[in-house]
Amino acid sequence: MHRAARAEDWLHEVRERFARRRGHIPVVVPYPGYGSTTWLRVLCRVLLTKPAKPGERVKKGHEPSIRGWRSFTSVPVNHVTVRIEVDGQVHEVHADRGGVVDAVIPVALQPGWHVARLRAEGSEEVEAPVFVVGPEVSAGIVSDVDDTVMVTALPRPLLAAWNTFVLDEHARVPTPGMAVLLERLAAATPGAPVIYLSTGAWNVAPTLTRFLSRNLYPAGALLLTDWGPTHDRWFRSGSDHKRENLVRLAAEFPGIRWILVGDDGQHDEAIYSEFQSAHPDNVGAVAIRQLSAGEAVLAGGRSKDEARGTPLAPWVYGPDGASLLEQLRGHGLL
């Protein structure tokens, strides 16, 4: 294992011992997942957190503002066993060294939204929404997050740190027209899965879920990553994370043609183009949001990977969701 990963594991062990001595208890943080009528991909993370004070409670509709840095101060519980119950059947899986569970379990479910009940030793039971895709569904949506559905200017390190660790979640700005675009795309094919694929850390998943719901984006699964060293390198590759999950989706749903949504400020165009070349039958269209001049400067410039697409899988470019929506409608995709 890489020495950075060994150092991180040591730090996690020290923090876990200290947190447990202070009375912190395990909590399972559920993430939206997806699957088919025969299997589910269940996602969650196990953390140590302070127990709620007697009588402490957050009223519905009065959720407090949450600074991004708070989501990075919780202590992960590594290699813990998590109990998953779906439709009366129980499965036990293990979290990884960062406390993350990414497990596939066998099921027999009807298409639509279902609930997986999750519990770790010493934690309360929580519910994770999972979307089951029917075998007849032929289209789906994969969308980037940063600078696609949310204006973040992520590639600049200082701005990324500000947006992630400091900025109040209620101050995050939705990209104009993108919620309507994704909602219309999802409605065009009943039962179509929506996947939010981002290089962001799992720590921000609860914040991102609230942001998407508050700004009327369609509900969907989150595929984020775990920052920090791996067994063989200092830092995880965000581009590789996207590539691997796209290939996995193509293998899991060979009959689905995905509409891929991204922006021209990172590597979305190159990643989507590579995926289309390798899996032409799994791409229905690509929609790229063009950053404004100011956003492009903050994002470190524009990508130079513009592609033209094919008659069966067109590429469209526009500054906002409304422009992309009209172009996709012109191609008969809406």
CATH code at 9? Answer: 2.60.40.10
Q: Is residue 71 part of a domain?
A: yes
Q: Report H helices in the chain.
A: 3-21, 157-161, 178-188, 205-214, 238-252, 268-278, 293-298, 321-330
Phi, psi of 126 (to 5 degrees): -130, 165
Neighbours of 297 (CB within 10 A): 13
Q: By residue range, what is the domain housing residue 228?
A: 139-330
pLDDT at residue 167 in the model: 56
One domain, residues 76 and 104: yes
pLDDT at position 51 is 72
pLDDT of residue 187: 95
Question: Pairing between strand 257-263 and 139-143?
Answer: parallel
The tokens for 297 are 């400067």
As a whole number of angstroms, the distance between CA 71 and CA 286 comes to 32
Domain boundary among 102, 132, 162: 132
Same domain, 287 and 172: yes
Residue 181 has, within 13 A of its CA and on its CB side, a CA count of: 31
Judge whether 146 and 300 are in contact, CB under 8 Å: no
Answer yes or no: do 37 and 87 share one domain: yes
Residue 126 lies in a domain: yes
pTM: 0.84
Q: How many domains does the chain have?
A: 2
Q: What is the pLDDT of residue 85?
A: 97
Residues 81 and 144 in one domain: no
CATH number of the domain within which 176 lies: 3.40.50.1000
Type of residue at 320: D
Question: Residue 303's pLDDT is what?
Answer: 55
pLDDT in tens, the chain (334 residues): 556 556 656 566 677 666 666 767 888 999 999 999 999 999 999 988 877 665 555 444 333 344 455 555 678 888 899 999 999 999 999 998 888 999 999 999 999 999 999 999 888 999 999 999 999 999 999 999 988 998 875 544 555 555 555 556 666 789 999 999 999 999 999 999 999 999 888 888 888 898 999 999 999 999 998 755 444 444 456 789 999 999 999 999 999 999 999 998 768 999 999 999 999 999 999 999 998 765 554 455 455 555 667 878 999 999 999 999 999 999 998 8
- Is there a domain that residue 58 lies in? no
Domain-embedded: residue 62: no
Instruction: Give the end of a domain, one of 84, 106, 132.
Output: 132
Position 38 in a domain: yes
Boundary of a domain, candidates 106, 132, 158? 132
Give the model's pLDDT for residue 40. 98
AA letter at 326: E
Do 317 and 221 belong together in one domain?
Answer: yes
Residues 6 or more apart in contact with residue 203 via CB below 8 angstroms = 71, 72, 74, 227
Same domain for 106 and 153, yes or no, is no
pLDDT of residue 71: 53
Q: Is 263 exposed, middle or buried (0-12, 13-18, 19+ CB in 10 A)?
A: buried
Q: Are residues 173 and 310 in the same domain?
A: yes
pLDDT for 183: 97
Residues 208 and 88 both lie in one domain: no
